[in-house]
Every structure is written in structure tokens, then in C-alpha cells.
Amino acid sequence: MDRLDAMRLFTRIVELGSFTRAADDLQLPRATVTHAVQQLEKRLGTRLLQRTTRHVSPTQDGESYYERCLRLLADIEETESAFSSAGSSPKGKLRVDLQGTLAKHFVLPVIAQFFERYPGIELEIGMGDRLVDLVREGVDCVLRAGELADSSMVARRVASLQQVTCASREYLARHGTPETVEALRGHKAVNFLSARSGKPLPFDFVVDGTTRSMQLKGQVSVSDADAYSACCAAHLGFIQLPRYHVDARLKDGTFCEVLAPWRPEPMPVSVLYPHHRQLSPRVRVFVDWLAEVMGQAA
């Protein structure tokens, strides 16, 4: 195994925290992986990894070597891409994590178009709303909705989605339709739990150019977008979310929007990726494609 391959192997072990997972990921025998790391540590004259029965983690020297490997491998990939023959396209595996409803509604229905454009790329797609450690989990980029909290990542805004406040037609028939933001306080809500804090998210409204937030009482709280809409359809109260989730229900009259003059600010949608992966041709073309897809949705 040459030095570059050894570097690539070492970075995958660090990111996946396992010799076995790295071996499976790179389709190498476990014995080859162990031997390659032993030779690497012998050549460098230092121990790079701490091994336990359950996990592998870098030593202080290993962490430093890992960061240098990332920069070097990114530079090499960028250089090879710059001098590749005309008409060639990126190849290899790309690991992405997509917010579930965005993926189902916007991305997966047209994913075949990406493979038609870049047949040499293999996608490994995870879906959800959880916080992903991109570096440690070996994820190349994530697609997320909402304001961003992780400033250590490179972020590219790809869409802004209109948000609406709505309830089922039957709920409004039973309890009345609020005509002002303040009148909403007397109503029930289906509360959505933040993936970061675990607490219910407030309802936001833009009144006279300023965002006003309020918490509403309710009998149910959820952490899934489909469950959020389903509880609204069960007449349990108001919800506030991007319009695309409920557009069909608004059009057929099952749901009704309220307080439209005071809609919250549009919800931003962004792609995030680590700094050291911003030069990767695979990441670049996928991010550009996501921006194209989500731009049409905005």
C-alpha cells in the first residue's frame, strides 16, 4: 500500500472509529488494514491510534496527522480534477445526509437526474433531522432546514421556503378563526420539538417588521414532520411549517391558513460541509445540483 492509500485508510479509520468498519468501507481485508496502520506508525515513529475493544480514536499525534492528511488529500483531489481530461466527470462514493421531508419531497423524486449527469458517483444517503458530526462520521455534506448553529462548517444557502400557520377546517369550525396574532393565544397547538434542545419550538410572526414569538399550549408534541401534519389533520390545533408540507391540504380545503399578513420569515435551507471537503469535485457537483433542485422549489 502506497503512502497516499495509507493516508486515505487512516482518515477513514479515524472517521469511522473502527478498523473493521474502515476495512468494509474500503473493501479491504481486516488484516491488510491492521498491517498498513502498523507500518504507518513504524514509518512515522509514533503511535497514531488508541485501540479499545469497542472503539478506535486518534492520539494527539494522530489527530495532528489526521488534519494534515485531510488537507493533503483534498489538495491532491483538486489538482487531479483540474488537470483531468476534458469531458471527464467526478467518480467515487459520496456520503450525504438529507433532512427527511426535504429529501422525500424535493430530492429523491429527481435523484435519477443526478446519476444521468454524473454516472461515476455512488451516493450513500442518510435521512433525518439529527445533528451529524460530519468529520467523525465521514459524511461529506448535509442538507438542513432552519437557522444554522454550526459555524465550523461551510454553509451554502440553497432555498428559502415560505412558512404558513394553519389548522384543520374542522378545528376552526369548532373553535373559531383568530383574526389577530394576539387572538391566537387562546387556541391549542400541536407543538414541534427542537432536535437541538428537545423543547417545543415557538410560533413566530412578523408584526410591523419585527418577529414576535409565542408558545402555545397543546395536548401533543412531536418530533417528526409527518406526525406534525397528521396531528393537525386530527384537529388537535395549529401548526406552523413550510408551505410545501401542507400545500395539497390547503388547496383541497382540509387545512386553512390563518394570519397570512403576519407570516414568519421564510425558512432557510442550506447545504453544510467541512472546510477540507469544499475542494472535492464530488462534493462540489452534488452541492451545485442540490442548489439547482432546491432553487426551483423556492
Q: What is the mean pLDDT of residues 57-72?
A: 89
C-alpha cell at 79: 489538482
Residues 171 and 149 in one domain: no
Structural domain of 209: 163-265
Please name the residues in contact with 205: beta carbons below 8 A apart, sequence gap of 6 or more: 165, 181, 211, 212, 213, 214, 259, 262, 263, 264
Q: What gap in Å lies between CA 294 and CA 123, rounded to an integer?
A: 18
Check pLDDT > 80 for residue 77: no
Residues of the chain with pLDDT > 70, as a percent, come to 90
**Burial zone of 79 (CB within 10 Å; 0-12 exposed, 13-18 middle, 19+ buried):** exposed
Residues 73 and 218 in one domain: no
User: In which band, very low, low, confident or very high, does the pLDDT at 76 lie, cut at 50, 70 and 90?
Assistant: confident
The residue type at 247: D
Residues 66 and 112 in one domain: no
Whether 43 is covered by a domain: the verdict is yes
Residues 154 and 245 in one domain: no
pLDDT at 1: 77
Q: What is the mean pLDDT of residues 26-41?
A: 90
- Three-state DSSP state, 76: helix
Residues 154 and 278 in one domain: yes
Residue that finishes a domain, picked among 82, 115, 139: 82
Check pLDDT > 70 for residue 135: no
Per-residue pLDDT tens for 233-253?
A: 999 999 999 999 999 999 999
Residues 107 and 55 in one domain: no
Check pLDDT > 50 for residue 85: no
Here the CATH number for the domain that contains residue 69 is 1.10.10.10
Q: What is the mean pLDDT of residues 4-10?
A: 90
Residue that finishes a domain, picked among 55, 82, 109: 82
Q: What is the pTM of this model?
A: 0.72
More confident residue, 189 or 283: 189
Check pLDDT > 90 for residue 162: yes
Residues 151 and 170 in one domain: no
Q: What is the mean pLDDT of residues 240-267?
A: 95
Here the CATH number for the domain that contains residue 119 is 3.40.190.10
Residues 249 and 175 in one domain: yes
pLDDT at 277: 57
State the DSSP code for 166: E
Whether 73 is covered by a domain: the verdict is yes
pLDDT at 51: 83
Check pLDDT > 70 for residue 125: yes
Whether 39 is covered by a domain: the verdict is yes
Is residue 166 within 8 Å of 135, Cβ to Cβ? no
Per-residue pLDDT tens for 285-297?
A: 999 999 999 887 6
Q: What is the mean pLDDT of residues 33-44?
A: 92
Check pLDDT > 60 for residue 183: yes
Check pLDDT > 90 for residue 274: no
Whether 87 is covered by a domain: the verdict is no
Whether 142 is covered by a domain: the verdict is yes
Q: What is the mean pLDDT of residues 176-200?
A: 92
Whether 208 is covered by a domain: the verdict is yes
Residues 118 and 138 in one domain: yes
- Three-state DSSP state, 136: helix
Q: What gap in Å lies between CA 248 and CA 240, rounded to an integer?
A: 15
Among 7-11, 246-250, 274-278, whose mean pLDDT is lowest? 274-278
Q: What gap in Å lies between CA 202 and CA 181, rounded to an integer?
A: 13
Whether 249 is covered by a domain: the verdict is yes
Check pLDDT > 60 for residue 278: no
Residues 16 and 66 in one domain: yes
Residues 190 and 46 in one domain: no
pLDDT at 218: 93
- Residue 243: name the closest of 165, 147, 180, 127 by CA: 165
**Mean pLDDT, the chain, as a whole number?**
87
Please name the residues in contact with 209: beta carbons below 8 A apart, sequence gap of 6 or more: none
Residue that finishes a domain, picked among 31, 56, 82: 82
Q: How far is CA 188 from CA 172, 184, 185, 272, in A?
A: 11, 8, 8, 35
Q: What gap in Å lies between CA 203 and CA 166, rounded to an integer?
A: 11
Residues 108 and 197 in one domain: no
User: In which band, very low, low, confident or very high, does the pLDDT at 74 lie, cut at 50, 70 and 90?
Assistant: confident
Check pLDDT > 70 for residue 87: no
Whether 20 is covered by a domain: the verdict is yes
Number of structural domains, the chain? 3
